[in-house]
Structures are given as structure tokens and as C-alpha cells.
Amino acid sequence: MSKQALTERISTILVEPHIKEKSMLLMSKNQVAFKVRVDATKPEVKAAVELMLDKKVESVNILNVKGKTKRAGAHFGKRKDWKKAYVTLADGQEVDFLGLE
């Protein structure tokens, strides 16, 4: 894989920040949650955060989130499965998605 193709892939790894009550509590512990691509790996997530947000990353934990089964009348459907990454930033690093400060 060429360096340009690798950079393009890394720039698409982070889908969006995952801002929920639990992830807001984790921000006080220097952790940030992201929705990431389903085929993303820990080293790719680390490289993406360091490249896109210019922050030093200590560790990355990834988990698969199963899509919920939904029902509309007699028909059943299923939401997509997705992947979540908890990124622990180095001391002194922080990300402010809400622009509160």
C-alpha cells in the first residue's frame, strides 16, 4: 500500500465523536470516544487521532456494538453493527468537542 493510500485510509478511520453521557464523564479521565470504521484497527485509530487532532495518544480500546433489532408492525429490521473506540490521551492533552471553554 502506497504512502498516499495509507494516509487517505487513516483520514477516513474516524467517523464522528461519540458524545453521550458516559463519554462526557470519561473526558475528565483524558479519554475520548469515537465511532470508527468497522474494519478499523487499534494502530489505525491511534494514527488517525494523532494525525487529525494533533494529540498524543497513550492507548486505544475498541469494541464492537451490535445493531438493535427494531420492529415496525409485523416487519422486523436490524440497525447496522458499528465499532466504538475509546482513546486515552497523554497527560496534558484534551479535546473539547462542545466548545464549552
Query: pLDDT tens digit string along 72-101?
Result: 999 999 999 999 999 999 988 888 776 655
pLDDT at 65: 96
3-state secondary structure of 23: helix
Residues contacting 6, CB < 8 A, separation 6+: none
Number of domains in the chain: 1
What is the structure's pLDDT at 98?
A: 66
Lookup result for grid cell 473526558: 27
pTM: 0.85
Question: Does residue 101 fall inside a structural domain?
Answer: no
- 35 part of a folded domain: yes
Identify the segments of the chain with pLDDT beneath 50: none
Instruction: Supply the CATH number for residue 78's domain.
Output: 3.30.70.330
11: in domain: no
Q: Is residue 24 part of a domain?
A: yes
In a domain, 21, yes or no: yes
In a domain, 78, yes or no: yes
Asked if residue 49 belongs to a domain, the reply is yes
Q: Is residue 56 part of a domain?
A: yes
Query: Distance (Å, rounded) from C-alpha 49 to C-alpha 53?
Result: 5
**Residue 92: per-residue pLDDT:** 86
- Domain residue limits at 41: 17-89
